[in-house]
Structure 1
Amino acid sequence: MKRANTFDVIPQSPEDKELLRRLLDASAALWNEINYERRENYAGPDGDVWDISEYRGRYSGVLGASTVQQIERKNREAWKSFFSLKKKGEANGKPGFWGNSEDRRELRTYIRNTSYSVEWGEYSRLEILVGKHLKDEYGLGHRERLRLELRGDPNWKEYDKQGRLELFYDEQAQSFKAFQPVTISEDHSRVAQPLASEEAALDIGANNLVACTTTTGQQLLYDGRDLFERFRETTREIARLQSLLEDGRYSSHRIRRLYDRRTKRRDHAQDALARDLIERLYDEGVSTVYVGALTDVLE
C-alpha cells in the first residue's frame, strides 16, 4: 500500500540553511530551464518536447547527478500528464514554472529514494545527497551528506520501501518541509489505525469552517472569520488593481501575484486544519467520519 509521511526539516546552522536554500534554488532553476525548452519545442512546428538538452554537466556539481535525473523525470511526468489530459479534453494549461522573475523561484527539489536516509528517534534526522561543488564550498567530506533535523510524528515510521522525497520551502509557514512517499505492508498499516471505533460528524461551513462532534462527547470548532476576511481583502485589492488597468488588459504581474498568494494562503490553512483535525480525531479513537449537516447525521 502507498502512504506518505510529512515532516518539518530544520537546518542545524546558518551555513546548512544557506546550503539547503541554494540546493532548492538550483533545482528550481533546472526545472524552469527544462520546462522552458519543452514549451518552446511544443510551440515549434517540428519540435519534440521529449528531445531536450543535457543538463547534468551544468547542474550535477551543485545537485548531484541523481537529483538532476529526478527533476528531469518529474518534469517528464508533468508533460505526460498534460498530454493525457489534453487527449481527454481536460487539460487546463501546460506544465508551469517554479516561481517567476518578480517573486523569485519556488524553492523545491526531488531526491531519489537511494540518495537520502531518514532516522527517527530522540533526535530525528534526514541526510540528503548534494553535489561535489557544494560539498567543497561548505566543507562536507567526499562521502558526507547534508544532515538536517526532523520534527514531526509521522504515521509510517516502519515501511518496506521509501519513494522519491519532495523537499520544499513553505512560504506561508516560513519553514522547510518534506513529503516522503512510502510503501507499507498490511502488518505495518495497522500501526496507524485508531485504537477504537468511535465516530465523528463534520459540518462544513463558511464562517465556521468545520464543526465536529464525536461519539465520545468531544466537540471541535474551527473558526474561519479571520481567514475569510483576509481572503476578501485580497479579492478587493485585486478588483481595485483591475479597475486601473488599461483597456484591453485583464491582469498584471502584481494581480497574478495576489491571486497566487491568496491561493497559497487558503491551501495552507486547509492543510493545517485537516492535519490538526485528523490528529485530534485519531487521539479520540475515531475510525469513521461523516461529512454533512450534523443534524442529518445524528438523527
Structure 2
Amino acid sequence: MSVVVRRTNTFAVRPLSAQDEQLLRELLDAAASLWNELTYERRQHFFDGESVWDTADYRTQYVGVLGSATAQQVIRKNSEAWRSFFAAQEAGEDTAPPGYWGNEDEGRELRTYIRNDQYTLETGERSRLEIPVGQDLKDEYGLGYHDRLRLEVAGDPKWEGEQGRLELYYDEVDDTFRAIQPVTVPDSRRDSPLAEESAALDVGANNLVACTTTTGQQYLYEGRDLFARFRETTEEIARLQSKLREGRYSSRRIRRLYRKRTRRRDHAQDALVRDLMERLYDEGVATVYVGDLT
C-alpha cells in the first residue's frame, strides 16, 4: 500500500517594488482583519453558550480585497482552529479558544492562506511566486482584471510533490516576508534516515545546544548573541517603563517590544531545531538523546 506524508518548503519572498510591498501588506492586513472579526464573533458565541458556526458572511465582506478563494481559505483555517480546540476539549486538555492575529492599535500579524490552485510558484534561475488579489486592490494599484501580484522568491525547495495551501506571512523579527508551502510526497522519499546512528544533545544557556553524533560529528549552537539582544530589549523595556506616568504600567511601544522579543526568541529556536534536524538526518541519525554529554 502506498503511503504519503506531508512536508513543507520555506521561502523568503520579496516584493519587486515599494508599491508591490504596500499592496502585499494591505492584502495580508485584510486577511488578519478577517480572521480577527470572525474570531471575535465566534468567541462571543462560545462564551454565550451558542454555536460558533453561525456567523456573518465574511467572505462577501472581504472578497474585494482578498478575492473569493483567499477569503474562503482564511475562514476555513479559522474553522480548523476551532475544530482543533473542541477536539482538545473533548480529550480533556486544558486549552483556550483560538486567539487573534494582533490588533488594529498595536498592529495586526500580517498573514494569509492561499488555496493550492490559486498560486503559481516557480523556482530556478528566476524564482517567482504569483498570488491572487481582490478586484478592489487591483483597481487601487493599477492591476488588470486577469493580473496577479508577482513576487520574487529566494530559496530552493527541499521537497517536490503535490502542492498544498500556501501560508504567506511577514516575519517581523527578520523584516522579511515568507512563504510556507506544504507538499505531499511518497513516504519513501527521505521519510526516514538512511542509517541507525545516534546523537546526544546537551541543552544549555550560553551554548544553546551542543551535539555529538556516533559518526564523530559535533555541532555547537551558541546563544550569546541571542541573549545579548534579549537583554538589550529587556533594558529598553525597563527604560520606557520608568518614563511612564504614575499609574501606568505599559504602552503601545512597550507591548510591541515584548512581542518582538518573544518572536525573536521563538524564531531562533525554530531555526535551530530545523537546521540541527536536517544535519542529523544527513548523518543518518535515527535516535536522539537529550542530557549531559559528560
TM-score, reference length from structure 1: 0.83
Q: Give, in angstroms, the shift of residue 276 of structure 1.
A: 3.1
Q: Give, in angstroms, the shift of residue 41 of structure 1.
A: 1.9
* Number of aligned positions between the proteins: 288
Q: Distance in 1 between matches of 2:146 and 2:253?
A: 45
1:281 to 1:126, Cα distance in 2 relative to 1, 3 A = same
Q: Distance in 2 between matches of 1:27 and 1:64?
A: 10
Would you say 1:70 and 2:73 are equivalent positions?
A: yes
**Structure 1 segment 274-289 matched on structure 2, within 5 A:** 274-281=273-280, 285-289=283-287
Q: Distance in 1 between matches of 2:170 and 2:271?
A: 16
| Paired letter, 1:78 | A
Q: Distance in 2 between matches of 1:223 and 1:49?
A: 46
Q: Deviation per CA, 1:204-252: give whole Å up to 9, x if none.
A: 212210112344543321111332344456567778959x9999x9987
Q: Distance in 1 between matches of 2:104 and 2:66?
A: 22
Contact (CA 8 Å) 2:207, 2:223: kept in 1 or not?
A: yes
Q: Distance in 1 between matches of 2:174 and 2:86?
A: 34
Tell me which residue corresponds to 1:99.
Answer: 102
1:44 to 1:163, Cα distance in 2 relative to 1, 3 A = same
Would you say 1:263 and 2:266 are equivalent positions?
A: no
Q: Give, in angstroms, the shift of residue 39 of structure 1.
A: 1.6
**Structure 1 segment 209-288 matched on structure 2, within 5 A:** 209-231=208-230, 257-281=256-280, 285-288=283-286
Q: Distance in 2 between matches of 1:239 and 1:90?
A: 36
Contact (CA 8 Å) 1:124, 1:151: kept in 2 or not?
A: yes
Q: Give, in angstroms, the shift of residue 77 of structure 1.
A: 1.4
Q: Deviation per CA, 1:168-197: give whole Å up to 9, x if none.
A: 00000110011111111235x14x777777
| Paired letter, 1:29 | S
1:90 to 1:97, Cα distance in 2 relative to 1, 3 A = same
Tell me which residue corresponds to 1:110.
Answer: 113
Tell me which residue corresponds to 1:207.
Answer: 206
Contact (CA 8 Å) 1:202, 1:289: kept in 2 or not?
A: no
Q: Give, in angstroms, the shift of residue 112 of structure 1.
A: 0.8
Which secondary structure does the structure 1 equivalent of 2:201 belong to? strand
Which secondary structure does the structure 2 equivalent of 1:142 belong to? coil
1:152 to 1:199, Cα distance in 2 relative to 1, 3 A = farther
Gaps of 5+ in 2: none
Indicate the percent of aligned positions where both proteins have the same amino acid: 62
1:228 to 1:100, Cα distance in 2 relative to 1, 3 A = same
Q: Give, in angstroms, the shift of residue 90 of structure 1.
A: 2.2
Which secondary structure does the structure 2 equivalent of 1:72 belong to? helix
Tell me which residue corresponds to 2:54.
Answer: 51
| Paired letter, 1:68 | A
Q: Distance in 1 between matches of 2:62 and 2:133?
A: 11
1:151 to 1:41, Cα distance in 2 relative to 1, 3 A = same
Tell me which residue corresponds to 2:186.
Answer: 185
1:59 to 1:6, Cα distance in 2 relative to 1, 3 A = same
Would you say 1:138 and 2:141 are equivalent positions?
A: yes
Which secondary structure does the structure 1 equivalent of 2:145 belong to? coil
Would you say 1:163 and 2:164 are equivalent positions?
A: yes
Tell me which residue corresponds to 2:289.
Answer: 291
Please identify, of 117-126 and 249-258, the stretch whose mean Cα deviation from structure 2 is larger: 249-258
Q: Distance in 2 between matches of 1:230 and 1:80?
A: 38
Q: Give, in angstroms, the shift of residue 198 of structure 1.
A: 5.7
Q: Give, in angstroms, the shift of residue 76 of structure 1.
A: 1.2
Which secondary structure does the structure 2 equivalent of 1:184 belong to? strand
| Paired letter, 1:225 | R
Please identify, of 221-230 and 116-125, the stretch whose mean Cα deviation from structure 2 is larger: 221-230
Contact (CA 8 Å) 1:29, 1:105: kept in 2 or not?
A: yes
Match of 2:6 among 2, 13, 21: 2
Q: Give, in angstroms, the shift of residue 281 of structure 1.
A: 4.3
Gaps of 5+ in 1: none
Which secondary structure does the structure 2 equivalent of 1:173 belong to? coil
CA RMSD of aligned residues (A): 3.0
Q: Distance in 1 between matches of 2:280 and 2:85?
A: 37
Contact (CA 8 Å) 2:198, 2:213: kept in 1 or not?
A: yes
1:138 to 1:84, Cα distance in 2 relative to 1, 3 A = same
Q: Distance in 2 between matches of 1:195 and 1:85?
A: 35
Q: Distance in 1 between matches of 2:102 and 2:93?
A: 24
